[in-house]
Amino acid sequence: MAGNSAGGYRIGIDVGGTNTDAVVLDERLAVVASVKRPTTADTGEGVAAAIDAVLEASGIDPSLVTHAMLGTTHCTNAIVERRGLGRVGILRLGAPATTAVPPLEGWPDELRRAIGEHAHLLHGGFEVDGRVLAPLDEDEVREVCRRMRGEVDAVAVVGVFSPVDERQEERVAEIVAEELDVPVSRSARIGSLGLLERENATVLNAALMRTLKQMATGFVAALQARGIEATPYFGQNDGTLMQLEYALEFPVLTIGCGPTNSIRGAAHLSGASDALVVDIGGTTTDIGVLVDGFPRQSAHAVEIGGIRTNFRMPDVLSVGLGGGTIVRAEPSDSGRRIVLGPDSVGYRLTEEALAFGGSTLTATDVALTAGGVRIDGIEAPSVDPGQGRAAWAAIRELLEDTIDRMKPNAAPVPVILVGGGSIIAPDELDGVGTLIRPDHFGAANAVGAALGEIAGQIEKIYRLDGPHADRRAARDDASAEAVDRARLAGADPATVEVVAIEELPVAYSDGQAVLIRARAVGRLAA
């Protein structure tokens, strides 16, 4: 059995579409053991199996595990597959000004049906300069709540320009709590400017509250059944963590945590602070940018399952290439051409790939035959030599083209290769300077999940002719709120620092409004 660790051990778990990875880190954040297990149809079973395997591999006493972190695609899959979503009552505070475009406009029909038909346009909202657009009608809010009783699992409250003034949203949330026994998602705490994108993000957050609660319940039960009395945390989009209660309030922040976990894990395992991170799984390749040890955030609105949103997300480019990608030779004008995916055998790789006795040619088979890759105990399958060489060239070309799209300029860049599927990547790639495959590269995502930094972020509009007429006062207020959010997410208050603050002018305003983004980061609370 491994020796005691004064600071306790950490278990990090990352649930992907193909594999569930788990690691144990000691108090110095060194990897004690890492394992990879197939993701199961019931993700809870796969998580439990990964916990058992990593405990056995590490040899530690489960009672010595003090923190357990989970990064999961559960919420993303629920949106993409339109399953397991809660019914949402939508209260938009914007009548009579915003009646032209109703809530859920442009949503796919099947997703609208999953959310339900309780979308209500109520009186309220603000102008960009802070003036009241329309007064709130509390009786109207109560009447709508009574009509939704028993029909919704959560409520999304969205006010026009609520990032300028949250008071109407706060009051409506209080009324909903009095009338209905369901959680409330407020848009001013989730999205930025842009009513429809912020509304979409808020509705998705409300729809995912039940989804993540089910996942969290299974995770906590798996820990308790193994005698692990650890504090549970979930990974969030910026590569940091949030404690369980905070995650249940903001489940939408778990979307995108898979790639960011890999980026953070790659930085930790390699020691690099600025590089491209290429994470190749069983189904996709995700490429992100590592800046000062953290994932670069996207500056653009992001579509999730066909829905345009504007909450913070990592700047990641994904392509359909992984270890389980199906390789086909199809007729073309010049003879036959190689087609890579985008479909994959996924977690069925060890059953369906040629190398494992199956009948499907995958990227892993190509790497074993044409790329000279070795997997312990596995023989290279029999593949037509010409087809194998052409497929290997196609894999290399796709990786090089995708890396080029993420590079800041034409100069060669350092690239960190991680993910269990990264064995399909050639040892040399055009446009790449240093190619790094760190130890435990296959479990980088789980390592990133376990690192344990907590972040809080605020994006808010301030009027410079109001209470925060002094720009410094506005920045100080935003910084204080970011610090408070980090504390609520589980950070040790004594370690929280504001690491970034940004000031942007507000378009179409009178010049007296400014958008301030502040981000604070701290270490896990003991």
Q: How many domains are contained in the chain?
A: 3
pLDDT band at 471 (very low <50, low <70, confident <90, very high): confident
Q: Are residues 483 and 401 in the same domain?
A: no
Span 364-412, pLDDT tens digits: 999 999 888 888 888 889 888 888 999 999 999 999 999 999 988 888 8
Task: Please check whether residue 70 is in contact with residue 378, taking contact to mean a CB–CB distance below 8 angstroms.
Answer: no
The pLDDT value given to residue 6 = 39
Cβ neighbour number for residue 375 with a 10 Å cutoff: 13
- Domain contains 258: no
Task: Please check whether residue 463 is in contact with residue 165, taking contact to mean a CB–CB distance below 8 angstroms.
Answer: no
Residue appearing with tokens 């660790």 = 5
**Which residue range is the domain that position 114 belongs to?**
83-208
Q: 47-56, 299-308, 337-346: which range is least confident on average?
A: 299-308
- The span from the CA of 515 to the CA of 381, in Å, is 58
| Pair of tokens at residue 414 | 């350092």
Higher pLDDT pick, 32 / 470: 32
Q: Are residues 312 and 169 in the same domain?
A: no
Looking at residue 7, the DSSP 8-state letter turns out to be T
Task: Please check whether residue 413 is in contact with residue 314, taking contact to mean a CB–CB distance below 8 angstroms.
Answer: no
Q: Is the pLDDT of residue 5 over 60?
A: no
Q: Are residues 324 and 437 in the same domain?
A: yes
Q: Is the peptide bond before 96 cis (omega within 30 degrees of 0)?
A: yes
Closest CA to 341 of 328, 358, 330: 328
pLDDT band at 466 (very low <50, low <70, confident <90, very high): low
Handedness of CA 29, 30, 35, 36 (dihedral sign): positive
Concatenating the DSSP letter of every residue in 50-72 gives HHHHHHHHHT--GGGEEEEEEEE
Q: Are residues 333 and 465 in the same domain?
A: no
Q: Is the pLDDT of residue 468 over 70?
A: no
Q: How far is CA 58 from CA 2, 53, 373, 409, 445, in A?
A: 7, 9, 28, 43, 18
Higher pLDDT pick, 304 / 224: 224
- Domain contains 100: yes
Q: Is the pLDDT of residue 260 over 80?
A: yes
The pLDDT value given to residue 46 = 84
- The span from the CA of 497 to the CA of 506, in Å, is 26
Q: Is the pLDDT of residue 172 over 60?
A: yes
User: Which among 208, 226, 257 is the end of a domain?
Assistant: 208
Cα angle: 214, vertex 253, 28; to 5 degrees? 90
User: Which among 430, 445, 460 is the end of a domain?
Assistant: 445
pLDDT band at 467 (very low <50, low <70, confident <90, very high): low
Q: Are residues 428 and 494 in the same domain?
A: no
Task: Give the mean model confidence (pLDDT) for residues 211-219.
Answer: 88
> Domain of 99: which CATH number?
3.40.50
> Domain of 415: which CATH number?
3.30.420.40
The pLDDT value given to residue 1 = 37
- Domain contains 284: yes
- 491, 494, 500, 506: CA torsion to nearest 10: 80
Concatenating the DSSP letter of every residue in 406-421 gives H-SSSS-EEEEEESGG
Average pLDDT, the chain: 87
Q: How far is CA 240 from CA 157, 256, 309, 320, 460, in A?
A: 27, 11, 21, 26, 21
Q: Are residues 423 and 493 in the same domain?
A: no
- Domain contains 213: no
The pLDDT value given to residue 3 = 39
Closest CA to 419 of 325, 281, 282, 295: 281
Q: Are residues 331 and 400 in the same domain?
A: yes
- The span from the CA of 208 to the CA of 234, in Å, is 14
- Domain contains 246: no
Q: Is the pLDDT of residue 510 over 70?
A: no
Which amino acid is it at 338? I
The pLDDT value given to residue 352 = 92
- Domain contains 375: yes
Percent of the chain with pLDDT over 90: 42
φ/ψ of 436, rounded to 5, equals: -110, 125
Q: 53-67, 215-229, 307-321: which range is least confident on average?
A: 307-321
Q: Are residues 424 and 287 in the same domain?
A: yes
CA 105 to chain CA centroid, nearest Å: 25
Task: Give the mean model confidence (pLDDT) for residues 442-457.
Answer: 85
User: Which among 445, 480, 507 is the end of a domain?
Assistant: 445
The pLDDT value given to residue 198 = 92
Q: Are residues 397 and 492 in the same domain?
A: no
The pLDDT value given to residue 2 = 41
Q: Which range, 191-195, 202-206, 262-266, 284-288, has the best average confidence (pLDDT)?
A: 202-206
Closest CA to 340 of 307, 365, 368, 375: 365
The pLDDT value given to residue 7 = 59
Q: Are residues 431 and 472 in the same domain?
A: no
Q: Compute the radius of gyration of the chain from its Cα atoms.
A: 24
The pLDDT value given to residue 375 = 85
- The span from the CA of 283 to the CA of 348, in Å, is 11
Task: Give the mean model confidence (pLDDT) for residues 349-371.
Answer: 91
Looking at residue 383, the DSSP 8-state letter turns out to be -
Task: Give the mean model confidence (pLDDT) for residues 215-242.
Answer: 88
Q: Are residues 369 and 313 in the same domain?
A: yes
pLDDT band at 214 (very low <50, low <70, confident <90, very high): confident
φ/ψ of 507, rounded to 5, equals: -65, 150
- Domain contains 103: yes
Q: Are residues 408 and 503 in the same domain?
A: no
> Which residues, in sequence order, are CB contacts of 1 under 8 Å at separation 6+?
59, 60, 61
- The span from the CA of 39 to the CA of 192, in Å, is 34
Span 293-321, pLDDT tens digits: 878 877 776 777 778 887 777 888 888 88
Residue appearing with tokens 């004064």 = 6
Q: Is the pLDDT of residue 350 over 70?
A: yes
The pLDDT value given to residue 4 = 37
The pLDDT value given to residue 298 = 77
- Domain contains 259: no
